[in-house]
Amino acid sequence: MTVREYTILIVDDSAEDREICRRYLGKEITVNYKIIEAESGEEGLEQFALIQPDLILLDYLLPDCNGSEFIKELQAQINFIPPIIMLTGQGNETVAVEVMKKGAKDYLVKGQLTFETLATSVKNVLQQNYLQSLLHKSIQQQQLIAETALRIRQSLDLSEILDTAVKEVRLLLNCDRVVIYRFASDMSGDIVAESITPGWTKAGGKNIVDTCFQEQGAARYEQGETLAINDIYEYGLSSCHIKLLEDFQVKAHIVCPLLLSTATLEKHTKLWGLLIAHQCKNTRRWNTDEIELLDKLSVQLAIAIQQAELLDNLKSELETRMRVENSLKEKALELEWFNRELLKITSLLKTRNQELDRFAYVTSHDLKAPLRAIANLAAWLSEDLEGQIPEENQQQLQLMQSRVKRMDGLIQGLLEYSRVGRKDTPTETVEVKDLINEAIDSLSPPPGFEIVIPPNLPSLTTEALLLQQVFLNLISNAIKYHPQQQGKITILVEEQAEFYQFAVQDDGLGIDPQYHERIFTIFQTLQARDSIESTGIGLSIVKKIVEAQGGNIWVKSQLGQGATFYFTWRK
């Protein structure tokens, strides 16, 4: 059985109370607690700076400060403080509320302290902190991958993409150096992008001749293998390879290949370079999710490199051809060549979009897996420790489950948003009245809602699924943001020369005019997401769908007077 180890700092001026805590925690057999003691707030802050504990047991009344002042001083020194359990000599609701607001995770009365109460509180607080850190790390990884993919779509500046990638990977992995290495034809190479923490040797701009690599070949990387080494001295590397790593103070690293597709008929890839993360100050056991993150990013970076090289080659070819004699024959040949190249580029972009769609699907699946694990673990904790967890912690577990659910919806919304306008949707002839009724049926509105549909709705030959999605979002919002469980929603239509103008009108809270533009921006909501679950993507998807059809969408509303959303749809 593996016994986990945590460092706990006890800040209490009573030696007897510190001994009680030490004795109770020492009884735990599934966890090994390393105890550090301090008798005052000043000594506690000094010990914290030295050991960086996993949890603090803090006496509220210290000789030189109280618990709230101690927490305030900690927060002034660092951004993220470890979880804190406050200890007091007697129960006091005012003190409890004060310290919980300041950031304490639990509140225990010394006179009522038992092994069970202390051990349960410590375990719960450490487990909660672990779940929060896991969720935070998952969100960071999602943001990094999404941002890298977005840059590839929006930018053709390769150096900007590579520089951004190494900076964000180093911060996310909290490692000492991240570099991108590009091979030359003789397997020597250059560091083309680097992010490094202060105090370590810079590798950027240096030509690195790795004779070991040249002699042993790069077969493992050409096959797409990722290499993760926790300790360079225990992995069995050759002496010359170790010497190269020592020159750059490396003690552990991850190496991911950057493979580009070639233009041959057979499936083949070219090893362009490597994405490398270095740990210099000590050895390191790399986690599976850290290795997988670099694998995913290496795919994105390979796509970016290939697109940039294609553009450079095309620019070079165009410049060469623009210098040839100005004869009509030459111009005709150039035009023919340009058309062929345009077809190639169109085909390549279509392939790249398909690759990015596949990548987005796989990434969303990989991101949803840890979210499901977090939700399940939080549910198990609530069930297994029912009646033992304080109400505050129960609320926090419920809040965690709610936010995991929101993150799952956000991932799905981002996938839908990225596909609008790029995914072919079949056209069909449909009665708009039937389409709206199907949308209402799928929403199952509360019995108190009256939805009025006019008799003069048209029949359209259009992408019916997209039109239904627009109505579905607008009617759903009218129900979701209504202050009561009853209300009235009215569908309106007006025929124009080339369009039909539809409207969805409600009698809800209304929207302040200063927010009429903001609500169509992705991730924007007007109410706290913990009060009403919303990803902030729905209206941005609606706007993107309507504008892709050549129409417009807008809102007319005042606070307290309901809202009417208008949109135009081509006949």
Task: Report the distance separating Cα 42 and Cα 40, nearest Å.
Answer: 5
Q: What is the pTM of this model?
A: 0.41
Task: Report the distance separating Cα 160 and Cα 178, nearest Å.
Answer: 15
DSSP SS3 for 269: strand
Task: Report the distance separating Cα 290 and Cα 228, nearest Å.
Answer: 10
Superfamily of domain 4-113: Response regulator (3.40.50.2300)
> Is the CA virtual torsion 467, 469, 470, 476 positive or negative?
positive
Q: Using one digit for the tens of pLDDT, what is the confidence trace for 402-453?
A: 767 756 665 665 566 566 655 666 788 999 999 999 889 888 889 889 999 9
- Does the 428-570 domain belong in CATH 3.30.565.10? yes
Angle ∠(232,233,235) on CA atoms, nearest 5: 65
* Residue 8 confidence (pLDDT): 94
Q: Using one digit for the tens of pLDDT, what is the confidence trace for 62-77?
A: 999 998 899 999 988 8
In this structure, what DSSP letter does residue 307 have? H
DSSP SS3 for 461: strand
CA Rg, the chain, in Å?
30
Q: Give how far Cα 455 sits from Cα of 135, 433, 472, Å.
A: 50, 8, 19
Task: Report the distance separating Cα 489 and Cα 443, nearest Å.
Answer: 13
* Residue 3 confidence (pLDDT): 61
Contact predicate 307/156, CB 8 Å: yes
- Domain-by-domain residue ranges, the chain? 4-113, 155-323, 428-570
- The token duo for 181 is 């290495």
169, containing H or E segment: helix 158-173
Task: Report the distance separating Cα 464 and Cα 474, nearest Å.
Answer: 16
> Which has the closest alpha carbon to 126: 174, 85, 97, 68?
85
- The token duo for 492 is 């309106």
Tell me which amino acid residue 484 is: Q
476, containing H or E segment: helix 464-480
Task: Report the distance separating Cα 560 and Cα 566, nearest Å.
Answer: 19
- Judging by DSSP bridges, how do beta strands 31-38 and 4-11 pair with one another? parallel
Contact predicate 131/377, CB 8 Å: yes
Output the tens digit of pLDDT for each of the chain's 571 residues: 456 789 999 999 999 999 999 999 888 877 889 999 999 999 999 999 888 899 999 999 999 999 889 999 998 888 778 999 999 887 677 777 888 888 889 989 988 889 999 999 999 999 888 888 777 777 776 776 677 666 655 666 788 888 888 888 888 788 999 999 998 877 778 899 999 999 898 887 666 666 565 555 577 888 888 999 999 999 888 888 888 899 889 999 999 999 988 755 445 788 899 999 999 999 999 988 888 888 888 888 888 888 877 877 887 887 777 776 767 777 777 788 888 888 888 787 777 767 666 666 666 666 666 777 777 777 777 787 777 778 888 777 777 777 677 566 656 655 665 666 556 667 889 999 999 998 898 888 898 899 999 999 999 999 888 898 899 889 989 998 898 889 999 999 999 999 999 999 999 999 999 999 888 886 556 554 445 545 567 898 899 889 988 999 999 999 989 999 999 999 9
- Judging by DSSP bridges, how do beta strands 177-183 and 189-196 pair with one another? antiparallel
In this structure, what DSSP letter does residue 109 have? E
DSSP SS3 for 428: strand
Q: Give how far Cα 127 sits from Cα of 55, 78, 94, 137, Å.
A: 11, 22, 26, 15
DSSP SS3 for 31: strand
Pick the CATH number of 155-323 from 3.40.1190.10, 3.40.50.700, 3.90.1150.10, 3.30.450.40: 3.30.450.40
* Residue 268 confidence (pLDDT): 72
- The token duo for 550 is 């050549």
Angle ∠(466,405,534) on CA atoms, nearest 5: 55
